Structure 1
Amino acid sequence: MTNAPTLFDWMGGREKLNELMSVFYRKVAADDLLQPLFQRMKEEHPEHVGMWLEEVLGGAKRYTEQRGGFKAMIRQHRGRKIAPEQRARWVALFFESVDEVGLPTDPEFRSALVAYIEWGSRRAMANSQPDAPPSKRETIKLWGWGEAPPGTD
């Protein structure tokens, strides 16, 4: 796509993403399956995840500039032992929230967003295990309209 908007712009930008994070993390905090992972969630966690998604989806590089980038995000997941059912529930609540806040429903956008959330949540789960090898990636993987994920991280 030439001159195509970023996924971040297409979804409605920072205001819409912040709304999504607010709705989503209220659900996460109240969910029995996710509560053990998020019981000590800091008030600013939804904002930090929003900064991450903004950068990944083509917006400003605020996560890298203000939070330390990819390696800092990896450190947040190390040792958390995310279980497959917790990852799946996180994804389900995310897309419930996507619908609730009215993100675009066109198949191109939804396909790209589903692809990233599935890929990213699986990477987070893998990186959260005690025996996870160090990541080879140094920078945040930017996601766009239909790119395939890299073969290795």
Structure 2
Amino acid sequence: MTRPGTMYKAIGGFDSVDRLVTAFYKRVGKHPKLVPIFPEDLTETARKQRLFLTQFFGGPRLYSEERGNPMLRRRHFPFEITPERKDAWLECMDAALDEAQIEEPYRTAIFEKLTMTAHHMMNTP
């Protein structure tokens, strides 16, 4: 169930999340700093990201229903997430937000929320 007044609803729901994730992983799959920590086939990674962002933006709790508590930091701990990789991830997301045509003020709010999350994911100097 989608709650009214959510970021998810404001940006256009699942179609917008889908466009964002597609644009994002198109970049991740080519970024020299990110390729080493992502699988060669990004299909499943992108599917999970769609579930997560749907929930993260206030839509249906698809991620938790399928995978339980997100526990992002713990799930990402096996991967060396350096400040450079965090920046590369955010660079890909920034460009994906443009490509997916996420409009203001939602674009800035989403990027700020994801920036805080990306900083929290860093686990390697």
TM-score for the superposition, normalised by structure 1: 0.72
2:70 corresponds to which residue? 70
Structure 2: how far apart are the matches of 1:123 and 1:50?
20
2:93 corresponds to which residue? 94
Shift of residue 116 of structure 1? 0.8
Does 1:110 find its partner at 2:102?
Answer: no
State whether residues 27 and 93 of structure 1, in contact with CA within 8 Å, keep that contact through their aligned partners in structure 2. yes
Helix, strand or coil for the counterpart of 2:122? Answer: helix
1:123 corresponds to which residue? 120
Structure 2: how far apart are the matches of 1:101 and 1:109?
12
State whether residues 81 and 122 of structure 2, in contact with CA within 8 Å, keep that contact through their aligned partners in structure 1. yes
Does 1:22 find its partner at 2:11?
Answer: no
Structure 1: how far apart are the matches of 2:4 and 2:64?
24
Distance 1:87 1:49, change over 3 A: same
Ranges of 4+ aligned residues in structure 1 off by more than 4 Å: none
State whether residues 29 and 42 of structure 2, in contact with CA within 8 Å, keep that contact through their aligned partners in structure 1. no
Structure 2: how far apart are the matches of 1:118 and 1:42?
22
Structure with bigger gyration radius: 1
Shift of residue 70 of structure 1? 2.2
Q: How many residues align?
A: 122
Shift of residue 51 of structure 1? 1.0
Distance 1:67 1:113, change over 3 A: same
Unaligned runs of 5+ in 1: 130-153
TM-score for the superposition, normalised by structure 2: 0.86
1:138 corresponds to which residue? none
Shift of residue 81 of structure 1? 1.6
